[in-house]
Structure 1
Amino acid sequence: MDQELQAQVIAACKEHEQKNCRYDNHDYKTCVYIGENYFVKFGPQRDLQPERATQEFFFNHAQAQAQAQAQAQQPQNEASTPHPPRIAKIVHHFVEKYTMYLQESPPDLATRIHEAMKWLSEVPPPPNSTLGPVGGGPIRHKFFQEFVAPFTFSDTNMLDQYVNKTRMYSAAIALSRLLTQA
């Protein structure tokens, strides 16, 4: 990224944050468009790094899968250059200038979504993975206080137990508030 573009990106991010980042704005997203060519997602490295690692993992898997399919389809003497699926990184060039919200949905949208979800469910997890972002660390989701799990869950049973305890605790607090108001 050249210095002029970098300065433009930084200025756009600062302006977006000043205009939109308020305590009461729960829909605030740290994303901006830079002209018609770039979409930038910004924020603290601790928030973006797990997302970047996860996107990179799926991108690399998609490229390897596309290359394996292309090699299987080509005669052994011919070299090929496969076209990997388009999986964007956090900063990327637009494929088209319209987002999915601004263009008409294709008639086969449900089928495409089904195929994408099926593909994602069949991607093997990275070696030595745990529940949470690729590369390790706690789960990051708005379900958790401060959007970060209080610890790393070793398996789905442990996560289920935590969620159920949290629900029961929240229900008990709500019930006690109702009883004290009555």
Structure 2
Amino acid sequence: MTKPYAALLRGINVGGSKKLPMAQLRALLAALGHGDVRTYLQSGNAFFTSDHDDEAALAGQLRQAIAARFGFDVEVLVRDHDYLTAVVEACPFPAASLRGKQLHVTYLSERVDESRLASLDRAAFLPEEFRLGDRALYLYAPDGLGRSPFGEALARSGPSKGVVATSRNWNTVLKLVELTEP
């Protein structure tokens, strides 16, 4: 059964490093045998359909293909439409009343226990807040992720130690759901 997926690539086309043109990414996905290939923005959001149902295997296949074709390693997460929809539905913050740049989801390769974040002094970063979900971390950052001291602290000492993690703002989170609609 063919399913729609989003491939979330971490850290491409940022600051002049790991340049990966979206047209070439689309061609690579098509060459791997995937259908309905599309991309969104230049920041590593690709969409495709596949008969395979192993997200980790699909991510590994794409990661290896990128390394072989472009000569650099890129962490990749692949998620299906149902999961992406569940992330939106489980949002613990009032997403409808926030601007897209104020709310972010960090997609994680595995579940992270709250204890991994116990060393962070949450009160010191208020009004910024985070909540954990199913292989996702929701971050409310009123001034945006680029200006978020809490986001930086999470990246340094948070859940991503040994876990693949890549963040998207809420507008992109919603677009991921839309573009994987069966």
The two structures have a TM-score, normalised by structure 2, of: 0.26
Bigger radius of gyration: 1
The two structures have a TM-score, normalised by structure 1, of: 0.26
Higher relative contact order (CA 8 A, sep 6+): 2
